[in-house]
Structure 1
Amino acid sequence: MPKTRAKGQSKRFLNEDYILHLSILFLCFFPVILSFLMVTNGETTAFKLGGFFFRIGIPCVFRAATGYNCPTCGMTRSFIYMSDFNIFAAWSMNKAGVLLYWFCVFQIPYRLMLTFNRKIPFARIAVALGTIFLIIILFVTVGQFAFQFF
């Protein structure tokens, strides 16, 4: 009997759905957690470890070449402000960043439940709402990007 249980568990870990849920969980969990360890003044971003600050960030190639913000400019700072509960500053950095932050926060418990084979009531509705939310984020990102040219 222990052999079949171990075999069943190994099948579970190789299951495509399990890998998908775990991947999405990590993609949502790490940016949210890292945003709690970072600080920003609106211009620069740094990790705060103990009493030390380590500046991070890669200059935006698109902005350097064109002078315009790329669709993801301000996303990291937006996440940091959201983790500090400063929604207005986050909204001014990147509107799509605020929406993506909420999407990630709601995905964490949802994907944890799916990873551990918990049944989700109204699972189809949750998937539909998640998809609609991602489409809204896409339109906000594209709209925000296009609006700067006018």
Structure 2
Amino acid sequence: MDWLDPHLRKLVYSSVVAVVSICGQFTTVIMATEPNTATVGPVPAEPKAQWNVAETNALLDHLVSNKSEVGDGGFKPSTFTSAATALARANLLTAGPPKTNKRCRSKWNTGYTERSKTIAMSQELTGIIPEALESKEGLH
């Protein structure tokens, strides 16, 4: 910037300093006015689903009757959506929040051991509900 007049160079430098200062002040104002998640607190967790035996059996019955919808990675999301709808229509809820497709998928994926899944699928072949599924102890 040697080609600029010294007076003009001083004016350019002071303009740059003024713009940087204004940007810093603006940033401070924005940070002071936006809510901070650390001060607001954590988002409350959803209430946990409470499954009774009738709901569990209804879920298993629905999944067995829709086993043709199983893809490479397991049941499709639409199967769990229809299971949640079927549970709501059956009016089996005794405690906890209503069962959603997410809760149905979670129950199937984490609520059963491989042995329980095998027992549930064998129900289709025999038409008999195994004793392991009639009590809460047999579900885990």
TM-score under structure 1 length normalisation: 0.22
Q: Which has the higher strand share?
A: 1
How does the TM-score come out when normalised to structure 2? 0.23
**Rg: which structure is higher?**
2
